[in-house]
Chains A and B, each alone.
Chain A
Amino acid sequence: MTSIPRWRDTVRTGLLWGAGAVFTSLVGLVAALQPRQIITGVISGGHALLLVALVAAGISAARRYADAPRRAAAGALAGAIVGASVAALVLLARVVNLRAMIVGATPELFALLTLGRGSGVLPWIVLGAAGLGALGGLLTVLPRQVRSIVTTGAATLLGVGLLQEQVQLLLQSDRVARLREIVFTFDGLTPVGAGLVVALSTVLSGVWQWQQPKTKERMAALPPTRRRVLQIVGFAAGLGAILVLPLFVGPFFSQVLVLVGLYTLMGLGLNLEVGFAGLLDIGFVAFFAIGAYTVGLLTTTGPLAIAHVSWWTATMIAVVVSLISGVLFGLPILGIRGDYLAIATLGFGEIIRLLVLSDFLRPVLGGSQGVLSIPKPVLFGFEFRGPEQIFFLALGASAIIAFIAARLRDSRLGRAWMAMREDEDVAQAMGINLVNVKLLAYGIGAVFAGVSGAIFAVMVGSIFPHSFSVLVSINVLALIIVGGMGSLPGVAVGALFLVGLPELLREFSDYRFLVYGAALMAMMILRPEGLWPAPAQRRELHEEVARIPEGELVEAGAAGAEDP
């Protein structure tokens, strides 16, 4: 029978999730989320995290089995093992003083893990964990649509709960004060509010599930002109919604969105280098710094000013400067490939940062004091004063640069980059001049980052070397991996997930790179192509070929090939 190794698999799954639960508890993540109430008085953030882990353990354990009872049993076993792991941690903490070694092993953590009732409750916790695991296992039995509705409801509840501060900020207006009082207390959702959120999201998700195929059918049945009109209307509506966004969300959200925009810009640049051309670059932040310092020095009203031009002129100059520095940066590393390239580029990024910090360049760049008092850009009397206005700057730049990136991708140059990514030697044997093509990739990628830096300079108003650490490069690399290597929408999606979300969940800030690491690993295992992968297969037009008779084509091909 094969069931013995399969049970062993289930045990292993349970142990893995258990180890994960113990680890997140001990590093303090669970306790950090504890003050954040999901539903006030019912469930807190820390407990919610463990709950999700239990259900997820049940789901991943149940996948290997075919029928419902076995799935439930596997889920229950895995859940029980996770529960037991946590229980073991609590018991261990009673015998050994864990806190001497691990700072996160606080009494609060253990109170949280035992639901504040001491270790007598542990058997019940294991039992409850088994129940939640079984629930996860049974979730996998549900038909796809139902499962999707249930998970949407749960995810929305969790999302609204975790982000309740921000959602409450959105509901500041007096007109909706009444609604706010019903749905939220000061630190979480009310039970009624939670019910409303779940009901609303499940109903919406249900309607979507039910109507989506029909709508698709009807869209397909429409004549192409009508469909085109509808697409344009939809696009315009989406654009309109984005344009009025800062008016509704206020300065805090706008600030987060600007940051997402800046990382999107950098992501587009690095995506061009890594995703299109296959040139790994870990010193990418250098170009961001070059753009920021160029604009800073050219526009500042402070003592370091070398000119007083408008932001627009300064940005044009920053584009040229970053293009040149991108090409210069590419020159010495033309012959380097793969892992070696990563190390060489890493070095370049650090060189720029250290130059900026150095005493040698302090009279020019300000050293660690940075460049201060950078004025805001003005366009036809409209001042880009705060984040709500700079949002448009970031949005406009992102749109233009995404357009440029898309055009480049679908061009002869884009094809040459991709060929180089696939096989450098063969690409050269196809007549591609590697030197030109590589330098263009570095140069254009640098320009995108330079524009991002130019906007960054006016967003913060003063720039300091510590803003340009290697972690920025790593962030950008991580976001294009999560979004989907080589995919343009993927860059924006990745930036939203890896830059936007962490800004909102400030409890995570200490654990940002832990979450990054976990997210990257999960992506590589579950969805290596990214959240929004590049379309691997693009349509070509078949109609013309169909009309040409076979014989003529052969001749046409012959004539074409004989042409010198």
Chain B
Amino acid sequence: MGLLASRGLTKRFGGLMAINQLDLDVEDRAIHSIIGPNGAGKTTFFNCVTGFYRSEEGTIEFDGVSLDGLSPDRITSMGIARTYQNIRLFANMTAMENILVGMHPHLRSGWLGAILKPPAVVKEEREAHQQARETLQFVGLRGMGDLLAKNLPYGQQRRLEIARALASRPRLLLLDEPTAGMNPRETMEMMAFIRRLRDDLGITIILIEHQMRVVMGISDRVTVLDYGTKISEGTPREVQSDARVIEAYLGTKAVAQ
């Protein structure tokens, strides 16, 4: 059994089956990609894992603990972090502040500590700032800490969003199309960076991705969804040659040819 396991997961929106009886296992320290046509239920799966949506049926377990019914903030504290398909940074806060918010679950000071500022709080804040700066540097945003998130260029916003997710010290990181809108060079850099997250930090990664070059290049395992149902799973090579996958992407005619 892996780090994350879903069993019979089902999510409906009215009559629409967004996710249908999904069994998914993600191994510890894996880079696991989820692919599929638009509307296949990939982001919905992320929303179920992180507690944004309540599933109608099925269970999700993280490291043997059930996530059912937990609020998003509880799930984050357990070690799951995510990024968003359309970047959702705190636009009017600085890059530093964005990361400091990400560290929220690991800091302790409350309202009284904030007002009185005893030495313990001063020390905690100083260390948090130092750590936030290091995180900034780790994602290559050194010296950008004072800039408002909305003023950063697109590629750096993507990286800041990952930095914010890293700040909560996750064991599992869900990346929703991290290379969307990137040119080939930026895409290559992002791939190397994602690998580093796993290799250097030991973080398990679930990746939603549309660029097949990225998926095939860095994934240990690929799951293919179509209309909320898992239609194929395996190594990139296995999935690539699966007739059902080609059918889902290109239609039945392509398979016949």
Q: Is the CB of A430 within 8 A of B114?
A: no
Those of A402-433 within 8 Å (CB) of chain B: 404, 407-408, 410-416, 418-419, 422-423, 425-433
- CB contacts (< 8 Å) of A558 on chain B: these are 200-201
A544–B142 Cα distance when bound, in Å, is: 12
Q: Give which listed residue, A434, A440, A544, A562, contacts B202 with CB less than 8 A.
A: A562
Given A426, A433, A539, A545, which contacts B137 in the complex, CB threshold below 8 Å?
A545
Residues of A within 8 A of B133 (CB): 540, 544-545
* 6 sample A-B contacts, Cβ–Cβ < 8 Å, listed by A number: A411-B113, A423-B88, A431-B168, A537-B147, A540-B96, A564-B79
Q: How far is the CA of A472 from the CA of B130 in the complex (A)?
A: 44
Q: Which residue of B lies closest to A418 (CB)?
A: B93
A178 beta carbon closer than 8 Å to chain B: no
CA gap between A248 and B145 in the complex, in Å: 47
Question: Residue A554 at the B interface, CB < 8 A?
Answer: yes
- Asked whether B104 lies within 8 Å of A430 as measured between CB atoms, the reply is yes
Is the beta-carbon distance between B146 and A540 smaller than 8 angstroms? yes
When the two chains form their complex, are residues B114 and A418 in contact, meaning their CB atoms are under 8 A apart? no
Q: Is the CB of B114 within 8 A of A416?
A: no
Cα of A537 to Cα of B96 in the assembled complex, Å: 10
- Contact between A418 and B138, CB atoms less than 8 A apart: no
B203 near A561 with CB under 8 A, answer yes
Q: Considering the complex, which residues of chain B in the window 93-133 have a beta carbon less than 8 Å from any beta carbon of chain A?
A: 93-94, 96-97, 100-102, 104-105, 107, 109-111, 113-115, 117, 121, 125, 128-131, 133
Number of residues of chain B lying within 8 A (CB) of chain A: 58
Whether B146 pairs with A562 at a CB distance below 8 angstroms is: no
B90 engages A544 (CB within 8 Å): no
Complex alpha-carbon distance, A548 and B129, angstroms: 15
B92 contacts partner chain A, Cβ-Cβ < 8 Å? yes
B residues 61-102 touching A (CB-CB < 8 Å): 71-73, 76-77, 79, 82, 84, 88, 90-94, 96-97, 100-102
Residues of A within 8 A of B (CB): 404, 407-408, 410-416, 418-419, 422-423, 425-434, 440, 444, 536-542, 544-545, 548, 550, 553-554, 556-558, 560-564
Q: What chain B residues lie within 8 Å of A425 (beta carbons)? A: 52, 72, 88
Chain A contacts of B188 at CB under 8 A? none
Q: 3 shortest A-B CB distances, which residue pairs?
A: A411-B114, A431-B105, A431-B76
A429 to B101, Cβ gap below 8 A? no
What residues of B have a CB within 8 angstroms of the CB of A426 in the complex? Answer: 84, 88, 90
Determine which of A418, A536, A541, A563 lies in contact with B90 in the assembled complex, contact meaning CB atoms within 8 Å: A418
Q: Which residue of chain B has its CB nearest to the CB of A544? A: B130
For B147, list chain A residues within 8 Å (CB). Answer: 537
What is the minimal beta-carbon distance from B7 to any residue of chain A, in angstroms?
23
List the interface of chain B (C-beta within 8 A of A).
50-52, 71-73, 76-77, 79, 82, 84, 88, 90-94, 96-97, 100-102, 104-105, 107, 109-111, 113-115, 117, 121, 125, 128-131, 133-135, 137-138, 142-143, 145-148, 164, 166, 168-169, 171, 200-203
A422 touches B168 (CB 8 A): no
CB pair B90–A539 under 8 Å, yes or no, is no
With the chains together, A556 CA to B136 CA distance in Å?
12
Q: Is the interface of A mostly helix, strand, loop or mixed?
A: helix
Which residues in A have their C-beta under 8 angstroms from that of B115?
404, 407-408
Q: Contacts A412-B107, A418-B90 hold; do A431 and B201 have CB atoms under 8 A apart?
A: no
CA distance A557 to B134 in the complex (A): 6
Please give 9 more A-B residue pairs, beta carbons under 8 A apart, in addition to A422-B90, A432-B101: A407-B117, A410-B114, A411-B121, A415-B101, A429-B76, A431-B73, A538-B146, A558-B201, A562-B202
Tell me whether A412 and B109 are in contact in the complex, defined as CB-CB below 8 angstroms, given that A432-B104, A561-B203 are known contacts.
Answer: yes
* Set of chain A residues within 8 Å of B121, measured between Cβ atoms: 411
Q: How far is the CA of A444 from the CA of B203 in the complex (A)?
A: 39
Whether the pair B92, A422 counts as a contact (CB closer than 8 A) is yes
Q: Cα distance A20–B124 when bound, in Å?
A: 56
CB-defined contacts of B84 to chain A, threshold 8 Å = 426
Contact B138 A423 (CB under 8 A): no
Instruction: Give every chain B residue within 8 A of A545 (Cβ-Cβ).
Output: 133-134, 137, 142
Q: How far is the CB of A484 from chain B (nearest CB, A)?
A: 13
Residue of B nearest to A434 (CB): B73
Whether A422 pairs with B77 at a CB distance below 8 angstroms is no
B111 touches which of A408, A430, A553 (Cβ 8 Å): A408
User: How far, in angstroms, from A432 to B76 measured CA to CA in the complex?
Assistant: 9
- Let me know if A557 and B72 touch, CB within 8 A: no
Residue ID in chain B nearest A419 by CB atoms: B101
Q: How far is the CA of A404 from the CA of B107 in the complex (A)?
A: 20
| CA distance in complex: A407, B110 (Å) | 12
Asked if A560 and B169 make an inter-chain contact with CB atoms under 8 angstroms apart, the answer reads yes
A554 contact from B91, B102, B200, Cβ within 8 A: B200
- B residues in contact with A554, CB < 8 Å: 137-138, 200
State which of A412, A432, A556 has its C-beta within 8 Å of the C-beta of B114: A412
How far apart are the CA atoms of A94 and B134 in the complex, in Å? 77
